[in-house]
């Protein structure tokens, strides 16, 4: 507060100058996401991953193209021939398919861009300085997660664009409108599947202070789930609910319990969604019926092509579970990061 002298000798006090308040930007996560996205797109990690994934995707692609070319006369008029580029593999090596390749390699993409997101900043000493800026604390983890999702989207679109472009220009196969819808839905589901592993890698980056530790655990979990996960859960399911029923209803209930346990693996859920979306001729009867009446109806039903809306209804529960897993992993990482103490 300052004073001013008036001509008659009095003193008039001036009101204090209001102090300018420092406002925190509401879109701080967008600033961090833009910075992280720029760093990731120009990093050696992104370039190497894009080259490796692109070259690896060409191997099953050439195998599928050779089979389509050899059976070109028989394939005339076959529905969803464009989607066959993604689901046809080598006759000798059935795992060499684009969809199987993406199911195995996609988790590595999510882990690669998240295992050092937080602990990398902590080890370099930049996390305290970052939190000292006029942004909210949760903007850091939100921005890093959004940037990771953006990079994943770029890589997935690039791989699918390579496969689709090869089929259009090399084989002359033009996708039908419904095939485009199915392919777009498959990309979205793949995006969620990779986002689940991105959130899991982000959780490891928050919990463990060393990037090497989080990377080792993340890639170890991926290797365990990919290689031995189905076998382990199958043994657990048979031990918990062995098929010993004497009636068909009892056997169906026990098989449903086993199927529920095996579906705890995200890769199993993603494979079921892929099989329905990319293969309209996939028989919905392959899904375990829920009652004896459904078994009898399935035996009397003729296999037909599934419409796009019917395929979405079939895979909707699996998609919801994948989204729930991704949200749960990110929520755990968010809560753990907000409760951590950051020291300079």
The number of folded domains in the chain is 1
- Indicate the Cα dihedral angle 320, 324, 326, 331, nearest 10°: 160
Q: Say how far apart CA 188 and CA 318 lie, in whole Å.
A: 13
CA 189 to chain CA centroid, Å, is 7
> Is residue 72 a part of any domain in this protein?
yes
255 has a pLDDT exceeding 70 = no
> Is residue 112 a part of any domain in this protein?
yes
Specify the length of the chain in residues: 344
pLDDT band at 42 (very low <50, low <70, confident <90, very high): confident
Average pLDDT score over residue span 246-256: 62
Q: Say how far apart CA 326 and CA 344 lie, in whole Å.
A: 31
> Is residue 45 a part of any domain in this protein?
yes
328 has a pLDDT exceeding 90 = yes
Whole-structure pTM value: 0.79
> pLDDT (tens digit, 9 = 90+) per residue, 214-227?
889 988 888 888 88
Whether the CB-CB separation of 338 and 208 falls below 8 Å is answered with no
> Is residue 47 a part of any domain in this protein?
yes
Structural domain including 118 reads 26-227
pLDDT above 70 covers a percentage of the chain that reads: 67
Nearest in space to 27 (alpha carbons), one of 114, 138, 106? 138
> Is residue 324 a part of any domain in this protein?
no
Average pLDDT, the chain: 75
148 has a pLDDT exceeding 60 = yes
- Indicate the Cα dihedral angle 98, 103, 108, 113, nearest 10°: 90
Q: Flag the least confident range among 11-15, 80-84, 160-164, 211-215.
A: 11-15
Largest CA distance in the chain: 111
> What's the pLDDT score for residue 245?
55
Q: Say how far apart CA 304 and CA 291 lie, in whole Å.
A: 22
Average pLDDT score over residue span 75-97: 65
> What's the pLDDT score for residue 173?
75
């Amino acid at each position: 507060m300052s004073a001013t002298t008036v001509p008659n000798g009095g003193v008039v006090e001036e009101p204090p100058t209001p102090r300018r308040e420092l406002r925190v930007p509401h879109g701080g996560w967008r600033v961090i996401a833009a910075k992280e996205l720029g760093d990731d797109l120009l990093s050696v990690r992104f370039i190497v991953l894009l080259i490796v994934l692109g070259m690896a995707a060409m191997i099953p692609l050439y195998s599928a193209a050779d089979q389509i070319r050899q059976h070109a006369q028989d394939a005339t008029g076959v529905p969803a021939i464009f989607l066959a580029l993604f689901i046809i593999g080598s006759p000798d090596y059935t795992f060499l398919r684009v969809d199987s390749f993406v199911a195995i390699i996609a988790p590595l993409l999510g882990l690669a861009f998240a295992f050092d997101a937080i602990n990398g900043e902590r080890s370099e000493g930049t996390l305290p300085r970052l939190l000292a800026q006029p942004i909210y604390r949760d903007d850091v983890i939100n921005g890093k997660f959004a940037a990771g999702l953006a990079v994943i989207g770029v890589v997935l679109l690039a791989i699918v664009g390579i496969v689709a472009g090869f089929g259009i220009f090399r084989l002359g196969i033009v996708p039908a409108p419904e095939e485009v819808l199915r392919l777009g839905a498959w990309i979205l589901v793949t995006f969620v599947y990779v986002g689940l592993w991105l959130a899991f890698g982000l959780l490891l980056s928050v919990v463990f202070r060393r990037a090497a530790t989080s990377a080792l655990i993340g890639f170890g979990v991926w290797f365990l789930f990919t290689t031995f996960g189905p076998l382990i859960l199958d043994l657990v399911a048979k031990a918990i609910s062995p098929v010993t029923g004497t009636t068909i209803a009892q056997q169906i209930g026990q098989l449903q319990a086993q199927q529920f346990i095996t579906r705890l693996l995200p890769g199993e859920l993603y494979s079921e969604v892929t099989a329905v979306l990319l293969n309209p001729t996939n028989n919905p009867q392959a899904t375990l019926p829920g009652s004896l009446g459904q078994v009898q109806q399935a035996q009397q039903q003729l296999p037909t092509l599934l419409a796009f809306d019917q395929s979405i209804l079939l895979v909707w529960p699996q998609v919801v579970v994948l989204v729930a897993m991704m949200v749960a992993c990110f929520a755990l990482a968010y809560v753990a990061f907000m409760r951590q103490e950051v020291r300079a």
